[in-house]
């Protein structure tokens, strides 16, 4: 006799949970690029039991790291979302348009990069994300050491004796060496560092920083004669230094 089939179990609809951050089922979140920064915080907050079942001790390890931090210096655990970036932008430049944020996001869905590029050209540099500011302050001491070692011993032409007569009219050549490197911040998104651009004649770091900010539609800042650009733009920055600044 054929085995009886449970018809009700076959015809009963199954409810599938989707991640609010990436739109995929939680079982597949870890294969996406935003798992650590967006999906994992959402799972910890909305479905902690599902997180424990899917990823075991990952949540507890992150919690231990958070508990080891000084509570007074605790910063944001994830970068701004597209909506938060837009809110920060309009809060700084056009607060009266904050009510239309949702409509703007819907209009430019899939074209967010072009939107922010146009906003930067119209209003000015994008507000800096506190998530990246906190990462910079934590790691600058360790990063600067390696870069400064590369610059040690370089003759930048600052100790030459003054000349008189015909020799004084000769143009002194200055050795210029610019280092561009990508740095990962604690498994988070990358930032691009530019060191040595101040050794190039006629270049002001603040003006160069503004040019990078407009070019990549993101935050760019100057710290200790070093330009820090949000995002991984290693090749684009190197090309821009050659073509735009003539280094």
pLDDT (tens digit per residue) in 132-185:
775 544 454 555 555 566 556 555 555 555 556 555 555 555 567 788 888 877
Summarised one tens digit per residue, pLDDT across range 59-106 is 444 455 455 545 455 667 778 888 888 888 888 888 888 888 889 888
Place of tokens 């060496």: 177
Q: Give me the residues paired with residue 193 across strands.
A: 181, 228
- Who contacts 207 (Cβ-Cβ below 8 Å, separation ≥6)? none
CA–CA gap between residue 79 and residue 102 (Å, rounded): 19
User: Would you say residue 247 has pLDDT above 50?
Assistant: yes
Asked if residue 218 lies in contact with residue 126, where contact means CB atoms within 8 angstroms, the answer is yes
CA–CA gap between residue 85 and residue 80 (Å, rounded): 6
Query: What is the SS3 assignment for 161?
Result: coil
CA–CA gap between residue 119 and residue 126 (Å, rounded): 8
CA distances from 198 to 21, 115, 221 (A): 41, 32, 14
User: Would you say residue 192 has pLDDT above 60?
Assistant: yes
More reliable by pLDDT, 102 or 218: 102
CA distances from 40 to 26, 51, 60, 135, 215 (A): 9, 8, 12, 19, 31
CA–CA gap between residue 78 and residue 75 (Å, rounded): 9
* ∠ CA 103-107-111, rounded to 5°: 130
What's the pTM value of the predicted model, to 2 decimals?
0.32
Give the length of the chain.
247
CA–CA gap between residue 95 and residue 89 (Å, rounded): 9
Summarised one tens digit per residue, pLDDT across range 8-61 is 666 667 678 888 888 888 888 888 878 888 888 888 888 887 787 777 645 444
CA–CA gap between residue 246 and residue 176 (Å, rounded): 11
CA distances from 59 to 40, 43, 77 (A): 8, 9, 13
Asked if residue 228 lies in contact with residue 193, where contact means CB atoms within 8 angstroms, the answer is yes
CA–CA gap between residue 112 and residue 118 (Å, rounded): 10
Asked if residue 190 lies in contact with residue 232, where contact means CB atoms within 8 angstroms, the answer is yes
- Who contacts 180 (Cβ-Cβ below 8 Å, separation ≥6)? 192, 193, 194, 195, 234, 237, 238, 241
């Amino acid at each position: 006799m054929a085995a009886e089939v449970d018809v009700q179990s076959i015809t009963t609809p199954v409810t599938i949970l989707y991640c609010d951050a990436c739109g995929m089922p939680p079982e597949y979140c870890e294969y996406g690029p935003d798992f650590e920064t967006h999906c994992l915080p959402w799972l910890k907050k909305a479905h902690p039991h599902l997180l424990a079942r899917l990823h075991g001790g990952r949540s507890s390890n992150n919690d231990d790291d958070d508990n080891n931090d000084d509570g007074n210096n605790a910063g944001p655990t994830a970068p701004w979302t597209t909506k938060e970036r837009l809110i920060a932008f309009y809060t700084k430049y056009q607060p009266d348009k904050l009510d239309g944020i949702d409509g703007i996001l819907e209009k430019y869905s899939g074209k967010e990069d072009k939107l922010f590029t146009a906003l930067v050209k119209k209003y000015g540099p994008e507000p800096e994300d506190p998530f990246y500011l906190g990462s910079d302050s934590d790691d600058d001491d360790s990063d600067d050491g390696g870069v400064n070692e590369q610059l040690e011993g370089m003759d930048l032409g600052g100790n030459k004796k003054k000349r008189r007569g015909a020799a004084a009219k000769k143009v002194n050549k200055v050795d210029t060496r610019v280092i561009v490197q990508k740095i990962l911040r604690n498994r988070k998104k990358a930032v691009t560092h530019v060191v040595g651009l101040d050794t190039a004649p006629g270049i002001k770091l603040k003006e160069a920083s503004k040019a990078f900010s407009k070019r990549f539609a993101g935050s760019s800042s100057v710290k200790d004669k070093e330009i820090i650009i949000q995002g991984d733009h290693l090749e684009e920055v190197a090309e821009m230094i050659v073509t735009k600044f003539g280094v």
